[in-house]
């Protein structure tokens, strides 16, 4: 009986060492070497200051910047509260919220006569999406160019340069990271 208990304690200690210490150290080491940015949250730096993550959306409402998808979290873009709104497509609260967002987007873009891209007025499932579609970025070019005093061609070029293609050429849809595009806009206006 004593021998069985001793073997159990030894096995417990060995498995704790392997699964609780060695395995996490190896996985952390490999991720730091092979996937350093991703392992550290894909933090976007401006000089020595962390200004966000390329994986989590931020709230931009200044007309000088591209706007991202609305956030379903409270407060907006709260990584700890990641979740969708849980409202169905015929829920009056969702319909009212989308109608209000459409009104706001149309008022900010008086030169646009086409339909408002859906990702400018609906939140993603996580409520934290940092990307918009190229169509949503194109929709905002006139406003951003006019607000910044840049040419439409300059802003269009920045959008094109920051449009990411499908992952591995087949997964997902083309997308634009709003934070990175807005940082490029700021950089384009520096003397």
Residue 20 has pLDDT above 70, yes or no: yes
* DSSP secondary structure string for all residues of 57-71: -----STTS---PPP
Please indicate whether residue 141 or residue 47 has the higher confidence score (pLDDT).
141
pLDDT of res. 57 = 83
Mean pLDDT to the nearest integer, 80-95: 81
pLDDT of res. 142 = 95
Q: What does the alpha-carbon distance between residue 129 and residue 118 come to, in Å, rounded to a whole number?
A: 13
Q: If pLDDT is split at 50, 70 and 90, which confidence band does 99 have?
A: very high
Judged by average pLDDT, the poorest of 34-38, 128-132, 152-156, 163-167 is 34-38
Name the pTM for this structure: 0.79
Judged by average pLDDT, the poorest of 8-22, 46-60, 146-160 is 46-60
Helices (H), the chain: 2-17, 23-34, 36-39, 92-108, 134-148, 152-161, 178-188
The answer to whether residues 142 and 109 touch, using CB atoms and an 8 Å cutoff, is: yes
Mean pLDDT to the nearest integer, 91-95: 89
The answer to whether residues 82 and 127 touch, using CB atoms and an 8 Å cutoff, is: yes
DSSP label of 74: S
């Amino acid at each position: 009986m004593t021998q069985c208990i001793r073997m159990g304690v030894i096995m417990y200690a060995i498995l704790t060492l392997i699964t609780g210490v060695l395995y996490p150290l190896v996985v952390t080491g490999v991720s730091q070497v092979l996937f350093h940015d991703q392992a550290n949250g894909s933090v976007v730096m401006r000089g020595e200051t962390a200004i966000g993550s390329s994986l989590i959306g931020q709230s931009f409402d200044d007309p000088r910047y591209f706007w991202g998808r609305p956030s379903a979290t409270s407060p907006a873009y709260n990584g700890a509260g990641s979740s969708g709104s849980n409202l169905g497509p015929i829920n009056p609260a969702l319909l009212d919220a989308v109608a209000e967002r459409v009104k706001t987007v149309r008022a900010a873009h008086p030169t646009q006569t086409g339909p408002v891209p859906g990702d400018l007025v609906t939140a993603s499932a996580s409520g934290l999406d940092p990307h918009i579609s190229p169509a949503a970025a194109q929709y905002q070019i006139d406003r951003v160019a006019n607000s910044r005093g840049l040419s439409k061609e300059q802003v269009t070029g920045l959008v094109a340069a920051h449009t990411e293609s499908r992952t591995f050429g087949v997964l997902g849809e083309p997308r634009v990271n709003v934070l990175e595009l807005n940082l490029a806009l700021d950089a384009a206006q520096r003397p």
